Amino acid sequence: MSTGIRDLEPKGLFSIFDDLVATPRGSKKEELARKYCLAWAKKNGFKARQDDAGNVAITVPATKGLEKAPGVIIQGHLDIVWEKTPETTINFETDPIPAWVDGDTIRTRGTTLGADNGIGVAAGMAAAIDPDCVHGPLELLLTVDEETGMGGAFGIAPDLLKGRIMLNLDSEEEGTLFVGCCGGGDSTVVFNTTRVDRPADTSAFKLAVSGLRGGHSGLEIHSGRGNSIRILARMATVLDASHPPMFCEIDGGTKRNAIPRDAHACVFIKNSQVRKFKTALKKLTARIKVELGQSDPGVCLSMTPVKCNCKAIAESEQIWKLLLALPHGPVVMSQAIPGLVETSTNMAQVTTGRTQVKVLCNSRSMIGSAMDAVRLTIKAAGELAGGQVKLTSAYPGWRPDMNSKVLKAARALWKERTGRDPNVTAIHAGLECGVIGERFPGMDMVSFGPEMHGVHSPEENLSIPSTRRFYDFLKALLKKLATD
């Protein structure tokens, strides 16, 4: 169990969240979380079923007298992003998340927290057994594999859901009602590599980038945070962009939907150029610190001698140049919603295998054709560099419906409770609403959640007061939808 979470109020909500924090549940490895939810349903006398994709649906009877009210689906995803700092020792597949209460905030020690989306799942489950929660017929839809391409949402059994009102609880800004999201898709550039003898008269060095903040590749893509892979390529080309040093290994980034925080490569530098390289790298480090002074003050560039007997990769030059050429960051801002990124792309990961080097990019857009255009750019760059490019099937976005009945109810309720209009907008991230709305036509949806920051990174944290207000708002909205 984590430190202090179970003692927080409301205990029904935070006890379930604490259980989830202690349950390993990475993407595609949600079995323990499924068992927990199914056992919870059985304990509380609710019918539950699991479809072939691994999604769990739990049927909760209406409050007495409200059996004929419109059915409402409360939806969240079970899986979390497993991210940690290099010095943190944890086995995500067996160990609980080291979460703790820090004043008004829940944090972790060097790992992601999993409030995305554990707090949404916990809120739905808590509302279902809260004696003070008045509601019509409820369905809890707990999906899997959201963080790695929304596999659960794509695989939802067509007969799993009855309701046509859905409250998605996978958002991170209190006071904001999300009514749209972007779609997304991955692009992977694959180099079939050839190993050759390392150049004569060279020494091996480990070039490394660390200390970056990273973060969610949708929600934080506009923040100007550094990309460790791009910085590593700048390090390698600091002396000669036309003929950078050969390498035997390069690795950076860990997740498709997280801005990469760390990267390293083992490179071979001519002995006659080592001193010049170190001098140039020192100057580059100073420039990078200025560039990222606000967003990543802890950025660190290092060059360390290493013993290495590995052969070099013949395609090193093409790969370095590709890492400099691939787009990263916001591509187009929305003209409809000021300040909202409409299209972006994240150069997320580079990995070295025995015979291949792979570069993974994750692109997002509110407009399908715009995302296609970005992925076409990545494909062209990859092929020009001599790689093979594989494009995954994209998942759809969620087009805003400003005439939505559930939006109208949520909007009015927020104004009634706070005296302020909520922020109604779309989110530059993938929500399962897009996929579910496509699979179940006519689904009326809105997404909201409590205040949390740093999701998909070890900085992830959750506001406790905001979570309380979010939970109270959820209960009030369920009552309003059932009784108005």
Would you name the residues annotated as active-site residues?
79, 146
Closest CA to 431 of 448, 418, 406: 448
| Backbone torsions φ then ψ of 438, nearest 5 degrees | -75, -35
| Backbone torsions φ then ψ of 134, nearest 5 degrees | -100, 130
Distance CA 404, CA 414 (A): 15
Kindly give, in sequence order, each residue whose CB lies less than 8 Å from that of residue 326, ignoring residues fewer than 6 positions away: 189, 347, 359, 361, 378, 381, 382
Q: Are 385 and 322 in contact (CB under 8 A)?
A: yes
Residue found by looking up tokens 């709305």 in the block: 437
Q: What is the dihedral of CA 346, 349, 397, 24, to 10 degrees?
A: -130
Q: What's the start-to-end Cα distance of the chain, in Å?
A: 41
Return the amino acid letter for 300: C
| Backbone torsions φ then ψ of 62, nearest 5 degrees | -70, 155
Q: Which helix (DSSP H) or strand (DSSP E) does residue 57 occupy?
A: strand 56-60
Beta strands in 280-396 (DSSP E): 300-305, 312-313, 329-333, 341-352, 356-365, 388-391
Q: Are 343 and 333 in contact (CB under 8 A)?
A: no
Distance CA 470, CA 17 (A): 14
